[in-house]
Structure 1
Amino acid sequence: MPRPTKHDPERGDARTRLLEAARDIVRAQGFAATSVDQLCRAAGVTKGAFFHHFASKEALGVAAAEYWAETTGALFAAAPYHDHADPLDRVLGYVDFRREIIAGGIEEFTCLVGTMTQEAYASHPAIREACAASIFDHAATLEPDIAAAMKARGIAGDWTAASLAAHMQVVLQGAFILAKAAGGPAVAIDSVDHLKRYLTLLFQTPSKGRTT
């Protein structure tokens, strides 16, 4: 869930500046390679200020995941795909919106919580749990539109709105990994385009007597 915004050390309180520094630096170089000293320099705060707000680097990682969920949640809540009358158009519009915000450097469009999950899932369970909450809570926001689109088109099968919403996140997170491997956004954009084609085919109105 990208939020391609650079942090500004001159804006916000020390805690917010540290969270924004973590958002940007961890996406660029990973959680393990990011030091407390580096975060303090980027945020323009002292090390004492860091430990005033966060008991440890792990605590900062948990808070950064929660801050990511809060800020990206606001971004997606205000996105234009919600304005479509047809629920399927809202689902496809969500995919279009994800495509549109794949822009700038890799560290600007890739997902903080996806990045931290890959690194910290075993070594930092608290960070993994915070990242999981961010990813799955975001997926859950898609479920009502998916369910409504299924109902409107008479789609029934051995899959659910929840499983499809999760699969969409699998494709997006995988697209970010491929973009990192390739060193550019083209493969991620292609993956999102394939996701839209898949959804379009999946929601074709079934013939009488056939289920999807």
Structure 2
Amino acid sequence: MAKTATTKLSHKDRLLRSGWDLFYVNGYHATTVDSILSDAEVPKGSFYHHFGAKQAFGFAVLDRYDAYQQRALDTWSGRDDLTVPQRIEGYHRELVERFVASGWQRPCLLGKLSSELGPSSEDYRARISTSLREWRSQIARLIALGQERGELRDDLPAGTLADVFLALIEGAFVAALVLREQEYLDATTRVLLVYLEHASTVEQRQWHPRRRSSSRKRTDPTQTEMAHRERLLLTGIESFFEFGYHGTTVDRILAAAQVPKGSFYHHFGSKEAFAVGVLDAYGGFQDARLLAWSDDDGRSTPEMIYGYFTEMSQIFVDSDYRNSDLAGKLATEVATTSEPLRVKIAELVAQWRVRLEAVLTAGQERGDVRDDLTVAELSAAIHALIDGTFIVASATRDTGAISAVGAAIAELVAAPNDE
């Protein structure tokens, strides 16, 4: 940050600006009060005079971010010279352009902190939930205007469509943190407009995929006969889910896994290398889960993908909203600070999309997957919706919104009914 541009600001404003910048770069846990003071070039007494504690400071940063987001949405919502779809597209593209212009560093701060703090801090979860719910209400009001004008589909409530819109925004930015691909973001914009503008011609029904038996045996990471490396990796997955990367210390992992420190450094060498190993292990679990659902057992392709989403969502809810998508969760924390971890997460996202696109291509050949959108566009939107749903629900705990996104995914995939 250029200090010459901030010297005329008050101490409070300089602190808030530095907090905003550092939360984006390092996340909440890795941003210390001392680092904020150093960046703002403000004495410690001024920090405690204005805020009292780091939590109150974080809330003040979020207040400033809320106002920033509201101004952008209000500007586009008030564009009476545009149709509502054009306003929505303009708003979404402005968010995308700001993100890209930041060097792929600044996604949505609410989403970033929801993923990091939602599972571990009730105070922050509630605060972020308030912001996300208000943002969702603003989006819903704009969509309702489009429905009244006959410019957007009206077969679903505006709030349901807003749930999908918000999830898509949050998830797209998380993936783009590691992928750094303009095409990925453009694809989500195109799919969003298709979804909002056109009522489904798929037969309206409740999606209830038949249960499948798990293809993976659950392993107890506390079993003494398990190899140290496996115990460390499984413990790492659970710890990263709950506390994030920066909130997880090596000592915490060692205590939970009941493994000596020497074994940790023998197998991994560093915390960063350990996280790469954890992501590899997690990617294997996810591959097995997607493969199990994509095996042909009489389900249509939309049912397969809906079933896969539903299983992931149920695991997430049953874990008290902790076990989301680990690659997406860590992306919000480490994509801007660790190139090896960014590359590893990007690799997992790309591999997941390749496997999903193979399933979608087979569905197009069978005729049960739509062909007016490419499989690349569909895979981008599905990935964004899954990760975005978990990010939002980490704070809001809204199972209704999760269900709305699941139905949207099935609808987006399904081929239209024959006329």
TM more than 0.5 = yes
For residues 15 and 154 of structure 2, the distance between their equivalents in structure 1, rounded to whole angstroms, comes to 47
2:149 aligned partner, one-letter code: A
| Counterparts of 1:140 and 1:148, CA distance in 2 | 12
Q: Distance in 2 between matches of 1:48 and 1:128?
A: 28
Return the alpha-carbon distance in structure 1 between the equivalents of residues 23 and 88 of structure 2.
30
Q: Which amino acid aligns with 1:87?
A: V
**1:79 Cα deviation after fit:** 4.0
Q: Does structure 1 residue 136 correspond to structure 2 residue 133?
A: yes
CA distance in 1, matches of 2:29, 2:92: 31
| 2:105 counterpart letter in structure 1 | E
Amino acid at match of 2:126: E
Partner of 2:11: 14
Report the alpha carbon displacement of residue 6 of structure 1 after superposing the two structures with TM.
Answer: 7.9
Match of 1:98 in 2: 95
* Alignment correspondent of 1:52: 49
* 8 Å Cα contact 2:154/2:199 also seen in 1: no
Q: Distance in 2 between matches of 1:152 and 1:74?
A: 23
Aligned partner letter, 1:23? W
**Matches of 1:6 and 1:75, distance apart in 2:** 24
Alpha-carbon contact 1:136-1:166 (below 8 Å) kept: no
TM-score by length of 2: 0.43
User: Contact conserved, 2:77 with 2:142, CA < 8 A, in 1?
Assistant: no
Distance 1:53 1:173, change over 3 A: same
**What code does the residue aligned with 2:10 have?**
D
Instruction: Tell me whether 1:120 sits opposite 2:117 in the alignment.
Output: yes
Q: Residue by residue, what CA displacement relative to the aligned partner does 1:62-96 show, whole Å, maximum 9, x if unpaired?
A: 11111110122223323487233533433333333
Q: Distance in 2 between matches of 1:62 and 1:21?
A: 14
Deviates more, 1:46-55 or 1:34-43: 46-55
Cα pair 1:65 1:127 within 8 Å, conserved: no
Decide whether aligned partners of structure 1 residues 166 and 28 sit closer, same or farther in structure 2, where only a CA change above 3 A counts.
Answer: same
Deviation at 1:35, TM superposition (A): 0.7
Deviation of the 1:183 alpha carbon: 4.6
Distance across 2 between alignment mates of 1:137 and 1:175? 20
The gaps in structure 1 that reach 5 residues or longer are 205-212
Q: Is the 8 A contact 2:76 2:88 kept in 1?
A: no
Stretches of structure 2 that go unaligned for 5 or more consecutive residues are 202-419
Query: Matches of 1:194 and 1:139 in 2, distance apart?
Result: 19
Alignment TM-score, normalising by the size of structure 1: 0.79
2-structure distance, mates of 1:102, 1:114: 13
Per the alignment, residue 209 of structure 1 pairs with none
Deviation at 1:102, TM superposition (A): 3.2
- From 187, 191, 195, the counterpart of 2:192: 195
Give yes or no for contact 1:179–1:186 (8 Å, CA) kept in 2. Answer: no
Secondary structure at the aligned position of 1:107 is classed as coil
Cα distance in 1 for partners of 2:97, 2:71 equals 17
CA RMSD of aligned residues (A): 2.7
Give the structure 1 partner of residue 105 of structure 2: 107
**CA positional deviation for 1:185:** 5.0
CA contact (8 A) 2:118 2:125 kept: yes
Per-residue CA deviations over 1:21-73 (Å, capped at 9, x if unaligned) read 11111111111111111111111111111111122211111111111101222
Q: Which stretch of the first structure deviates more once superposed, 122-131 or 74-83?
A: 74-83
1:33 aligns with 2:30: yes
The equivalent of 2:61 in structure 1 is 64
Indicate conservation of the 8 Å contact 1:106/1:185, yes or no.
Answer: no
Larger Cα Rg: Structure 1 or Structure 2? 2
Which residue type is aligned with residue 19 of structure 1? L
Q: Which amino acid aligns with 1:25?
A: L
Give a deviation string over 1:144-201, Cα, whole Å, max 9, x none: 23112223338443x3111211221111110111012325555334323332333233
**Paired residue for 1:210?**
none
C-alpha separation between the residues in 1 aligned to 2:47 and 2:109?
20
**Per the alignment, do residues 6 and 88 of structure 1 end up closer, same or farther by CA in structure 2, a change over 3 Å counting?**
farther
How many residues of Structure 1 are paired with residues of Structure 2 in the alignment? 198
The match for 1:165 among 152, 162, 165 is: 162
Matched residue type, 1:199: L
Could you tell me whether the CA contact under 8 Å between 2:84 and 2:142 is conserved in 1? yes
